[in-house]
A and B are shown apart, each in its own frame.
Chain A
Amino acid sequence: MTSVQVFLALIAALFLAPMAVGVLTGVDRRITARLQSRLGPPILQPFYDIGKLLGKEPMLANHWLAFCSFLYLAGAVTSVVLFFLQADLLLIFFVQAVGSVFLVIGALTVPSPYSQIGAHRELLQIIAYEPLLILVIVGIFLATGSFKIEAVYAMEQPLLFKLPLLFLVLGIALTIKLRKSPFDISASHHAHQEIVRGVYTEYSGPYLAIVEIAHWFEIVLILCLLSLFWSTGVVGLVLLLGITYFVEILVDNTTSRMTWRWMLGTAWITGITFSLINLLWLYYG
């Protein structure tokens, strides 16, 4: 990469991509509202929300929450930057895990039952999706012969044709990461009474804003991973992302939240079976 390209990649990773995801979440809320026969908030509502949170008086139940919220953001931003710099996929995944771990550690620092239970459920979510993401990355390696993103862009055919089942597996991970039904177990995007907001409960005011922004970066990363499956043309890429995200919204609105036992079982059994089949095709095909 030339230095100009690096500069452009940094701008895209740090500003454009999270902005786009902010808008996307706004659209998500609109479509969800329409599906539920409501009008829904303005498209830019997520930005207003963040602005409002940033203006609140900071209050904390434990100082380490401030520390952890920033490291969550740092981990998420670094992984997105690494993606735009076309680094090693497995490495990007591990850097992304730094953020997730600090989100959980922060929630664990407050002795409130909501945040403690939320944190443990978040950990269960992590062990549900992490192996799946690693297997998707291994699939990409088997298809391209490298863990580096540039190898994907060197492909002549979209990866989707070689990795259809792994694309579905990534869909499971995406649903968990987006905190959507039936996997919104640790922190539903609607604050369900039983868990309040789980792992998010104790992050408040400006610190919650930081956590929300970090979550946008995490969504950027997962969407970037999805985009790798159609790396050959912009039209196909946009279509693939649009359809996938719309399906996510539909699933979110037509399923109910399940227990973590069900989540772990489903994610592992379905995800690993699908991955295994797809990886075997690649290896012997």
Chain B
Amino acid sequence: MPDTLLFILVVVPFIAALGLYALRIESLRMVLVLATAVLLTGSSLALFSHETVAFSTTLLGVNPQPLIVLLDFVVLFIILAVGLSAKHRLIIYLAGAQIVLLAIFKLVSPAEATGQAMFLVDPLAKLMVFVVSVVGSVIILHALPYMKNHEEHLHLTTSRQPQFFAVMVLFLGAMNGLVLTNDLGNFYFFFEVTTLCSFLLIRHDLTDEAKANSLRALWINSLGGLALLIGLLWISLDLGTVNIQQILAQTPEAAFLLLPIGLLCFAGLTKAAQLPFQSWLLGAMVAPTPTSALLHSATMVKAGVYLFLRFSPAYSGTFFSTTVAFVGGFTFLAAAALAISQSNGKKILAYSTVSNLGLIIACAGIGTPAAIAAGMFLIMFHAVSKALIFLCVGTIEQRIASRDIEDMRGLYAIMPVTAIITVLGALTMILPPFGMLLGKWMAIEASAHNILLVIILALGSAITVLYWARWAGLFMSYPFKGRIYPESQPALTRLPLLGLIGGALLLSFYAPAIYNSLIYPAISVLPLALVDAVPATSWGILVLDRGSFPVIPLFLVAALGLFAAIYFYKLAGKVKPTGPYLSGAQTPDDPSAYAGPMRQSIVPSSSNYYLEKIFGEATINRWVNTAAIVLILLMLGGGL
């Protein structure tokens, strides 16, 4: 049975992708996408009922290894071809180098070493499969009406939706493969497939900007791919195995292996768009919004942080580990600061993603059980909340034709339901009792011994609150005018939004249960060098040896406060409306305007503080990128 589940999770999306590409009929596409979404969601949930097992080399009785080798070269040659046709030297060199190295790897690596235990289902993999399959499916469903609108708006003669949905579905299969595989060689294959998928999705609209940005994404991620391949080759030559579990079991003794592990981590940094590699993820914002949602929440960047968490036992307790914490922590702070200066909604989200992923990497670097638990919590909650907010911004953008947050002022008057969902989504990113904050709380408590790191996290945490609160308030800002009616939306637009916000709230509520059933089993078996007391839960209260977080009691209090606030909001509906305070110079007919010179009626306006001079990209980009490079060199040096 688990064999079948693995087949559905990894191989079926590849088959569905072929179908979506070949069968260019809209109704069939709907059916195929729906069926894939249902299959993936169901299988990922079914996976939770299985114990931790290592699986054999076959998938439904067939050995897929030769096919994977073939496809691996196909992917690399496609990348090479892209580089050649775009005359992009860097991509040509990077792809060429990988082809040569991969050929060497296939020649020298012993055959039986690549064979054993191809897939491994453990709690970390289950969590990732859940994120990829469930959140990813919701995004693809939301994309159905979205892409239809998108193409109507562009007046295309031939639809490009077949390609789009094929790549989106393929992406999910590749991610599932990446998190389930126990073979570092196959890991590399799936890693490269995600690179190729992201390239295709970013250039989807075929504008000059999209093409340029997709090439940038391709070369940055190919750089990571090359690092990964070198690390892989090195490890297989030294240890004679590419079995990830065997590598993890050996590394604490084999300290010299930290450098190849460092190369793997370097690949993770490029994939997770950590400073100074953030530019590809920001460039990716030109793609249709479902792509951004997918890259930021369920796929791609999560592959980078997954790599850090997966290999955390390999570097736990070393100087390398400490530097990983600083690399992540620094990105957490710097990307949050960069987000302050942005008024483009999608760019704020992009910087926020980079920042939160930095925090997850910092957790992997701190490397105690509590910190790893925090990292796993953050992955899950970030995926759900970020997918939600991206889909909200996409929905809003199609309505108001802008992604500038200043244009979203007073959105509540136009799209009340979407506005409230977005605000709730923003609040789940920063406030208790929601999961993201729970993760942040665990991360700060786990890092409290590292004084410099904890200062960085404290600053980053405060800055994060600033840009989210500012955005949330802006949605609700509107002059008082009559009744507001809920907007109408297609079911496939509304339901994913409701599903995700419901999911964010429910998962936060069940955080203690998720901890007990999933995260504790994952961290309790990790061979970590640093051990703090593993957190426990009782009565919905998460207890560390250093502190405690009463999740469910706080939820009850929050619900009470919310009901009171809603009650008084309803009462306030009967209250006499007035205009804003305008120093007593209000005009009688329009309460939101004042009488200016010559009795002109003037409506005052104000905009957000963006603090460009302090936090603007032009001001700090050079500095933070330099600092990030220095830290990464320090990190790699720490592996020597």
Contact = CB atoms under 8 A, between A and B. Distances in A.
Given A111-B409, A135-B458, A67 B477 contact: no
B527 to A, nearest CB: 26
Given A119-B473, A202-B581, 15 more contacts: A60-B576, A60-B577, A66-B575, A68-B565, A87-B548, A88-B547, A101-B430, A101-B469, A112-B581, A123-B470, A126-B462, A130-B461, A135-B458, A275-B455, A280-B451
B459 A131 contact: yes
Contact of B578 (A61, A141, A142): A61
Interface string A60-78: 1111111111110011001
Given A74-B565, A95-B554, A275-B455, A120 B462 contact: no
Given A101-B430, A110-B580, A88 B549 contact: yes
Interface string B412-446: 10000000000100010011100001000100110
A91 B577 CA distance: 38
A61 B577 contact: yes
B592 A111 contact: yes
Interface string B120-154: 00000000000000000000000000000000000
Interface of B: 409-410, 412, 423, 427, 430-432, 437, 441, 444-445, 448-449, 451, 454-455, 457-459, 461-463, 465-466, 469-470, 472-474, 476-480, 545-550, 554, 557-558, 560-562, 564-566, 568-569, 571-573, 575-583, 592, 604-606, 608-609
A90 interface: yes
A127 B476 contact: no
A281 B427 CA distance: 37
Interface string A146-174: 11100000000000000000000000000
Contacts of A268: 459
B462 A63 contact: no
Nearest to B340: A127
Given A63-B572, A70-B565, A104 B469 contact: yes
A17 B412 CA distance: 38
A77 to B, nearest CB: 8
Given A57-B576, A60-B575, A61-B480, A98 B431 contact: yes
B455 A111 contact: no
Please indicate which of the listed interface residues A65, A116, A141, A275 has the most CB atoms of chain B within 10 Å of its own CB.
Answer: A116
B451 A58 contact: no
Contact of A131 (B458, B577, B579, B604): B458
A84 interface: no
Contacts of A107: 473
A276 interface: yes
Interface string A75-99: 1001000000001111100110110
Contact of B469 (A115, A123, A135, A201): A123
Interface in A130-149: 130-131, 134-135, 138, 141-142, 145-148
B473 A71 contact: no
Contacts of A89: 547
Given A70-B564, A105-B476, A135-B455, A283 B462 contact: no
A134 B458 contact: yes
B564 A112 contact: no
A59 B578 contact: yes
9 contacts: A58-B572, A60-B575, A62-B477, A63-B569, A66-B568, A123-B465, A138-B454, A146-B547, A201-B581
A55 B609 CA distance: 36
Contacts of A145: 546
B579 to A, nearest CB: 6
A90 B443 CA distance: 11
A48 B117 CA distance: 75
B264 to A, nearest CB: 32
Contact of B547 (A71, A101, A147): A147
A237 interface: no
A138 B459 CA distance: 13
A137 B582 CA distance: 41
B580 A61 contact: yes
A283 B451 contact: yes
Given A66-B571, A74-B565, A196 B581 contact: yes
Nearest to B545: A146
Contacts of A147: 445, 448, 546-547
B589 to A, nearest CB: 16
A17 B473 CA distance: 31
Contacts of B455: 131, 135, 272, 275-276
B572 A66 contact: yes
Interface string A212-240: 00000000000000000000000000000
Contacts of B409: 111
A198 to B, nearest CB: 11
Contacts of A275: 455
A194 to B, nearest CB: 11
Nearest to A268: B459
A163 to B, nearest CB: 14
A43 interface: no
Contacts of A201: 581
Contacts of A87: 548, 550
B469 A120 contact: no
Contacts of A75: 561
B236 to A, nearest CB: 41
A91 to B, nearest CB: 6
A76 to B, nearest CB: 11
A111 B477 contact: yes
Give 4 nearest A-B pairs by CB, closest first: A108-B473, A112-B580, A74-B561, A147-B547
Contacts of A67: 565-566, 568-569, 572
Nearest to B550: A87
Contacts of B554: 78, 95
Nearest to A141: B448
A183 interface: no
B416 to A, nearest CB: 11
Nearest to A70: B565
A103 to B, nearest CB: 10
Nearest to A145: B546
A124 interface: yes
A70 B572 CA distance: 12
Contacts of B431: 94, 97-98, 101
A64 B581 contact: no
B543 to A, nearest CB: 9
B465 A148 contact: no
